[in-house]
Amino acid sequence: MQLIGEKRVRSKPSKFAARKFNDTSLGQIIEYLGTHTWDTFENYTAEQCFGIAIKTIHDAIDLYEPEKRVVIPSKHVIKESWMTNGPINLIKR
């Protein structure tokens, strides 16, 4: 409850990075990975091959589905617990 003369304290908006995958972008990523030459792994150790594979997958995802900054205004953030007290009390036990 806000008293007269008090400043209202606003909570900050929620900010995070997200990707919106859809069938088109997933198809493009799969096609990119399918056209990549994987034969060069014969010359590397298992750790190096793993690093190359992960980097290739990250590059494909960043190319076809880059991260976008999402901001949720504070008035749209749900502050009440979505769970009733029963399950919460069971979890605490």
Q: Which whole-number Å values give the CA distances from 82 to 12, 73, 78, 87, in the listed order?
A: 20, 19, 9, 11
pLDDT band at 6 (very low <50, low <70, confident <90, very high): low
pLDDT in tens, 78-91: 666 666 777 777 87
- Contact yes or no for 43/91 (Cβ under 8 A): no
Q: What is the DSSP letter of 36?
A: S
pLDDT in tens, 22-61: 999 999 999 999 998 888 888 899 999 999 999 999 999 9
Domain ranges of the chain: 14-74
pTM score, whole prediction: 0.62
Residues contacting residue 61 through CB under 8 Å, at least 6 positions apart:
19, 29
